[in-house]
Structure 1
């Protein structure tokens, strides 16, 4: 079964650990051919001021800019249509390219001067990429106010006083249940278990739930549920992987979810179980809805249920169009990229379409606060309200892989405390 890639979260940049895990999602790579025939950042000829039919405003010479993104095969046609619409309205030209390994490509192409003017990814790359000079501050050149976006989204677009991109959607995981199997949304994990106990029958390919257990992002709600945390730069003790509260959360997930899951913790087998109609529940993100719609699954999305004595707190991600290195130059290519970004993130139709088709959570206030989001989008929005943004500090890069290994050990029956202690030691060694 081909699953949505989104590099697990299409754009959750979370360093090599999640990037590698995301590759397990299994979408066939889109063509990465860059049609620019060059670096794509040079301005073309032509000039003068020009306004597009949808409010785009161009000034100076026409420019061409590359824009990179990593999308599932179901999302790609819509992106291409939106770029085509922009190009028809503007004197500028955006040349889009779908990239199978965004982190690898950006870290190699941008320093070599062959990267895009802008690329789409989650906010958690900001600290690392700003430190390495891969993205730049455009706070003094914006024609869009951050006040147009929700507070969390506006905050995510900034790092250390720099505006490094503009936001357009929020993402997190939520509980998805099959309405042909489950009568009503569970409010607690205990409510879930009563259904899972009844439905779970692995001998007949029936499972209580599917959740990519080895992925620290997907498991974050439970690792954080009792006061634990993976990493928090604001705390005196930044690393929380081996704290008792974190270990308790992971152990809770091992004890209460693993017995009802397929025996492979990776993304594809877990996601496939629910997408094929063989699981009562799934914990997944909005990028997953396209697959469910294609499969004809009847489902609803709701916030994560409460564990006894705790509150689920999932990591959330804000998708940004980043200002890549090269946008510090006020040339025609930069003008093209900035006009495209500002048009894209303030386009209500684009945000509504993303919400309707993929369950993505709008961050443009005029849409997010309109009160007319669909039930499924509202379910993800409620889950966002439960959680908090992923850390964007570069030190977080060293956290993902060791935690992934520890979660895999826990899933396979190893002692959770020992596994998390070993992960914490590895992280501290890497930091040193």
Structure 2
């Protein structure tokens, strides 16, 4: 699914569907929203069925397209879900917008004793607990086994292979990757110490030399090998149709690539001369929404018990890992070496990365950076001019 594609959508995209039509208005029991892929949804439904078995108060499930827009409309109206799944980086923004519920007093598990420290921290904000972590994720390199004998160990080796196959006139490309999406290209723009945002200084650093050097790395080594249209829906089919040796994507696309007939090897990011690949990583949470604030006690219990059950149930943890490449964050499984090659590869890339800031100011960073990267990608601006303009726009938004 195009989860990271929607990062900048919080409060900034038109609503495509009337949220109330999706239900979950507080009179229909406890509702869960998600935007999972078909295969993820099938396993989720099995997990929900197992959880609901024998319960008087069951949890209902709704697959919600354009979930960003739907939440923006539903929650302020007192409608929408009691819980939903998304990465942790929304916590700060949703806290400021009163979209989330502090479940600190409702939990039956100790976050610090149950989950990795990074996962436990991701669920907290301003002293409260606003979700339960169930997996971590990032984007990493994927290889088409028919074109790539061995995953490249260095970026230089990767460029050599991309050069061998890249032939746009014949519909062939070296790489499938949304080239201006900050989440997807974070490994490279942060490789020399640059950062999109620093939560301690509460400032962006995209106009500093280290970050600009990362943009130049993209411009010289990756962008020449992707389709000319940067849109996600254009980039992804290139790899899915077997027309590129490499993709950079997350665990949510692996099943789809394989179902399309591509023999996929998931591997870690290649070494970068003079730097270190530093991707953004995310922790998937079951968020608790502000609909729980005045909800009947049984609805609060159901939402919290579901999140705790799903995040600690062995079958759910192993199914998500083995079938979908989700990296366990439960301490009993986080270092399990028997969860398959996909999980091992994603876990290795996660170990290289930094966690996405959950600070509310980060919400104002994504769009200007993406716009600036697209200008560089389209040869409209230099990396320095584009990033300096983006930084100025970001700071103006904060003011």
TM-score range, shorter-chain basis?
over 0.9
Task: Give the equivalent residue in structure 2 for 1:162.
Answer: 128
1:229 correspondence with 2:180 = no
Task: Give the equivalent residue in structure 1 for 2:395.
Answer: 428
Unaligned runs of 5+ in 2: none
Task: Give the equivalent residue in structure 2 for 1:389.
Answer: 355
Contact preservation (8 Å) 1:214, 1:404: yes
Quote how far apart the aligned CAs of 1:40 are: 3.8
1:172 correspondence with 2:138 = yes
- Matches of 1:317 and 1:89 in 2, distance apart? 34
1:246 correspondence with 2:211 = yes
Over 3 Å counting, the alpha-carbon distance change for 1:241 and 1:300 in structure 2 is same
Greater shift after overlay, 116-125 or 194-203?
194-203
Contact preservation (8 Å) 1:18, 1:400: no
Deviation string 1:97-151 (CA, Å, 9 cap, x unpaired) is 1111222222322222213211111101111111221112112221112121112
1:118 correspondence with 2:118 = no
- Of 256, 267, 283, 2:221 maps to 256
Quote how far apart the aligned CAs of 1:336 are: 1.4
CA RMSD of aligned residues (A): 2.2
1:82 correspondence with 2:80 = no
Contact preservation (8 Å) 1:119, 1:321: yes
Over 3 Å counting, the alpha-carbon distance change for 1:201 and 1:407 in structure 2 is same
- Of 208, 227, 232, 2:174 maps to 208
Within a 5 Å distance, the mapping from 1:28-107 to structure 2 comes to 34=22, 39-40=25-26, 64-107=29-72
Contact preservation (8 Å) 2:43, 2:319: no
Name the SS for the 1:259 alignment partner.
Answer: helix
Contact preservation (8 Å) 2:20, 2:79: no
Over 3 Å counting, the alpha-carbon distance change for 1:20 and 1:220 in structure 2 is farther
- Matches of 2:149 and 2:321 in 1, distance apart? 25
Quote how far apart the aligned CAs of 1:343 are: 1.0
Normalising by the residue count of structure 2, what TM-score does the alignment of the two structures yield?
Answer: 0.93
- Matches of 1:278 and 1:20 in 2, distance apart? 32
Name the SS for the 1:403 alignment partner.
Answer: helix
Name the SS for the 2:291 alignment partner.
Answer: coil
Task: Give the equivalent residue in structure 1 for 2:119.
Answer: 153
- Number of residues paired by the alignment? 394
1:351 correspondence with 2:337 = no
Greater shift after overlay, 118-127 or 328-337?
328-337
Q: Which stretches of structure 1, 4 residues or more, deviate above 3 A after TM superposition? A: 17-21, 31-34
Deviation string 1:67-111 (CA, Å, 9 cap, x unpaired) is 111122332222222222222242221111111122222232222
- Matches of 1:339 and 1:258 in 2, distance apart? 46
Quote how far apart the aligned CAs of 1:32 are: 9.4
- Matches of 1:221 and 1:348 in 2, distance apart? 31
- Matches of 2:386 and 2:4 in 1, distance apart? 24
- Matches of 2:305 and 2:277 in 1, distance apart? 39
